[in-house]
Amino acid sequence: MTVWIALLRAVNLGRRNKVPMAALVERLAEAGLPGARTHLQSGNVLLRTDQEIGPIIQTVLRTDFGLSEPVMIRSHARLREILAANPFPEAAAERPTLVRVIFLAERPAAERVERLEEHDDIRVRDREVYLDYRTGVHGNPVNSAMVARRLAVHGTERNWATLTKLAELAEAM
């Protein structure tokens, strides 16, 4: 069986899009995905299954929580590749909360990627965008909203510390 990591977009942001993780796990089990685990309250779900999980998770989010947001899904093997491909390894070691990866819903157009990569602190690899926020996230003009606009693709961002923890949790499943 494959271990999957589902990254939910725009959940539990302040008062918006509340999705209690325990309730999500319960609803996923009822929908045919037992054994789900979550990490943090920001929509990180780990599952071990051979089923196609995307449509099931999206249906649960829509039906039970009233959300219609994309869900980015990567296998544990793919997450390991993403971690290994980090173009900012020294920064990730020094500042794991300031190095981020945006997981895109689809591959962006090549001409949009080329223009975006004119920034020294952004690199796009397949359906992932690596960002080095260097001095801080808040107020930085180079951010996930800007990336989404320029690439015209939805995504969800996770910091390096969270990603390494997700890989560790996936390894134990």
User: CA-CA distance, 31 to 25, in Å (whole number)?
Assistant: 10
CB 6 within 8 A of CB 38: no
Hey, what CATH class is 2-75 in? alpha beta
pLDDT, mean of residues 67-91: 96
- Parse the chain into domains and list their residue ranges: 2-75, 78-171
Sheet holding 155-159, edge to edge: 122-125, 128-132, 99-104, 155-159
What confidence score (pLDDT) does residue 14 get? 63
What confidence score (pLDDT) does residue 144 get? 87
What confidence score (pLDDT) does residue 130 get? 97
How many beta carbons lie within 10 A of that of residue 103, not counting itself? Answer: 23
- pLDDT digits over 32-60, tens only? 999 999 998 888 999 999 999 999 999 99
Grade residue 12 by pLDDT with cuts at 50, 70 and 90: low
Which phi and psi (to 5°) does residue 120 adopt? Answer: -65, -25
Structure tokens belonging to residue 85: 């491909």
- pLDDT digits over 110-157, tens only? 999 998 988 889 999 999 999 999 988 888 888 888 999 999 999 999
